[in-house]
Chains A and B, each alone.
Chain A
Amino acid sequence: MPLLQIRNLTIDFRTLEGTLRAVYGVDLTVNEGEVVGLVGESGCGKSQTCLSIPRLIHPSGIISADEIAFEGRELTKLGERAMRSLRGNKITMIFQEPMTSLNPCLTVGEQLAEPLVLHRGMDWHAAEDRVVETLSRVGISDARQRYREYPHQLSGGMRQRAMIAMALVCEPRLLLADEPTTALDVTVQAQILRLMLRLRDETGTAIVLVTHNLGVVAQSCDRVSVMYAGRIVESGTTAHVFGSPEHPYTRGLMRSVPRLKPPAGAPVRLESIPGSVPSIAAMPGGCPFHPRCRYAQELCAQALPSPVELEGGHSSLCHFAGKLDSLGVTA
């Protein structure tokens, strides 16, 4: 049984312009000890998908799904009290902005010990020892001293480590990391990624990593789902998706990222994807990517593709998946 199984997840938001759909029928499976990437550009629905698991989306949002099963329990049927006992306990989150996600009025220690007191019934003294130990594990020196400090006294990298420590203190089964390194410098990012992977190896915690950075995904995820306009357009092992992308959007993304070490024969110009992401209030008919797609055919404007299964669990939401190279390309 997978640790987390999402089937046909749809998220709608009630707005002044009517009900808008942000996420269309997303499926996602996460196994024990696995790192699964959700990658895409702003507004593609990757964060909402992630936030819907512990039901943390904006109150105007409506989550509907055939199944959101965590350890075999159906989360959509769970009452608020039961959900609260999972959050910060078995399911924890790391957010992008460590400054705005930590409470500036509480010491680092108070915030980190709280889940232990609430969920594990520990007293504050015992919780302190455990928090200090966790802070040292994530690479914070003088952890006893840091316990008494406020978030503003820590650097950006330290705060993100403190956030990770907070997410780990109850030894969760599932860690949801929403752009955990986006606000950080590249050297700190490398350290944080290493730390997350080491903790996964030590504790078997599964991680859902939401990011727009293809490099971060390539370096840390076992499997990846690429999202565009509220849908998963391609998913598979990291090796498959990066090695032989079979959705035109994934291909376009990869061609538009400049490389630190350009492979031999790389084009001198970056190939960008023309146009921009459609607004969720005005989705094009047919395949949502067809107006920007260099492989687009007549069919693409008319019919929404269904997922095409390729080898090894690799799948692509494209009419021509597996046959892209034989199509004429419009430059």
Chain B
Amino acid sequence: MSEPLLQVDNVRKWFPIKAGLLQLTVGNVRAVDDVSLTVNKGETVGLVGESGCGKSTLGRMAVKLLDPTAGRILYRGQDISRLGGSGLRAYRRRMQIIFQDPYSSLNPRMTAGAVIGEGLRIHSLVPRSEVKDRVGELLTRVGLGPADFARYSHEFSGGQRQRIGIARALAVEPEFIVCDEPVSALDVSIQAQIVELLRDLQQELGLSYLFIAHDLAVVRHISNRVIVMYLGRLCEQAPRDVIYDSPAHPYTKALLSAVPEPDPQIPLQPMPLPGEVPSAASPPPGCRFEPRCGQAMPICKESQPQWREIEPGHFVACHAVGAG
């Protein structure tokens, strides 16, 4: 068993809904509700789900851009959710995040060099006189060049901006990177370049990724293990090929059946998925997927399914799985 790097332990993130003159809390949006997962050293965990399922909120908690309402986030055994000051700063260096939108995640008033060099200066990783050389190395590593040091973000294309975002994350020599939809804003031919760059960097530097995306084919390509989320909870987790070739949870099946393959020989046969995703402010009391599930049973309305291991490494939260 490889060593766990990140452990998310029964984490919950509720966003209060405030209303009225006194701004009283009248409810909570349960973006993430009792979720546990582990990322081991050197592996890529894919986290998939549709918009609003809580996958980005979870990713942001993993690098402490958000603090959980309840639960713990352990990085190498240390609870980072309660960390502050210099202790926190040391951890910030070890974990980084790459954002979805390369247009809004780079400061338009900073040059590429300033964006990438900021982390080097804050953490005093190299002497000031060497910052420029190190940034040049990083730019080269992500497929740009030292000449791009003084250019501003608007001078770059979307794919190039995402390369700057990756260089910025790499500057502080992290061990763990949350990739939050890193390729979904990019064109198809550029997506492949960035995905392969991320894979090469992982091999070279021994990085671990939590790779968040809604594109199931991209996730299959890059991940070792895949986790499926629906309305703030985990549905299923399994090694990559297991989840794609023999999914167990009805939602995973519906999701996979809806992906159009770029091959007219493989007809699209989406499973019916009636209704809409319920509001995360008033989720169904039993299984979150019950109102839309073709296999729902009376028990699914009443109690939340347990997270069970149905075969080694394959976990699922569904009353119907294995129930005969």
Residue positions of A touching B, CB distance < 8 A = 41-42, 155-158, 185-187, 189-191, 193-194, 212-220, 238-239, 242-243, 252-262, 269-274, 276-277
| Residues of chain A contacted by B217 (CB below 8 angstroms) | 257-260
A42 to B214, CA, bound (A): 20
Give A184 Cβ to nearest chain B Cβ, in Å. Answer: 9
- Tell me the complex Cα distance, A289–B222, Å: 29
Could you say which residues of chain B place their CB within 8 Å of the CB of A216? 260
Residues of chain A within 8 A of B160, CB atoms compared: 276
| Contacts A/B (CB < 8 Å), 11 sampled | A41-B189, A218-B264, A219-B268, A243-B265, A253-B189, A257-B192, A257-B217, A258-B218, A260-B244, A272-B193, A274-B193
Q: Could you tell me the distance in whole angstroms from the C-beta of A99 to the nearest C-beta in chain B?
A: 13
* In the bound complex, CA of A186 to CA of B221 (Å): 18
B323 beta carbon closer than 8 Å to chain A? no
B261 interface hit (Cβ, 8 Å)? yes
**Whole-angstrom distance from the CB of A43 to the nearest CB of chain B?**
9
Tell me if B83 is interfacial: C-beta within 8 Å of chain A.
no
Across-interface contacts of A194 in B (CB, < 8 A): 270
Q: Which secondary structure dominates where chain A touches chain B?
A: helix
Tell me whether B190 is interfacial, beta carbon within 8 Å: yes
Distance A260 CA – B220 CA, assembled complex (angstroms): 7
Provide the bound-state CA to CA distance between A156 and B214, in Å.
Answer: 16
Interface-side segment among B37-45, B125-133, B250-258, B296-304:
B250-258
Kindly state the interface size class of chain B when it binds its partner.
Answer: 35 or more
Bound Cα distance from A187 to B261, whole angstroms: 13
Known contacts A215-B262, A218-B260, A257-B192; 17 further A-B pairs (Cβ under 8 A): A41-B190, A185-B50, A186-B259, A187-B50, A190-B257, A215-B259, A219-B268, A243-B265, A254-B262, A255-B192, A256-B188, A256-B192, A269-B196, A272-B189, A273-B192, A274-B193, A276-B160
Residues of B within 8 A of A41 (CB): 187-190
Check B261–A186 contact: CB distance below 8 A.
no
Residue of A155, A215, A256 near B189 (CB, 8 A) is A256
Contacts of B265 in A (CB 8 A): 243
* Distance, CA A164 to CA B51, complexed state (A): 21
Contact B270 A215 (CB under 8 A): no
How far apart are A95's CB and chain B's nearest CB, in angstroms? 19
Q: Name B253-305 residues within 8 Å CB distance of A.
A: 254-268, 270, 273, 276-277
**B55, chain A: closest CB distance, angstroms:** 12
What A residues does B191 contact at CB under 8 A?
256, 272
Q: How far apart are A265's CB and chain B's nearest CB, in angstroms?
A: 15
- Which chain B positions have C-beta within 8 A of A276? 157, 159-160, 190
What's the minimum C-beta distance from A231 to chain B, rounded to whole angstroms?
16
User: Are A242 and B244 interface neighbours, CB within 8 A?
Assistant: no
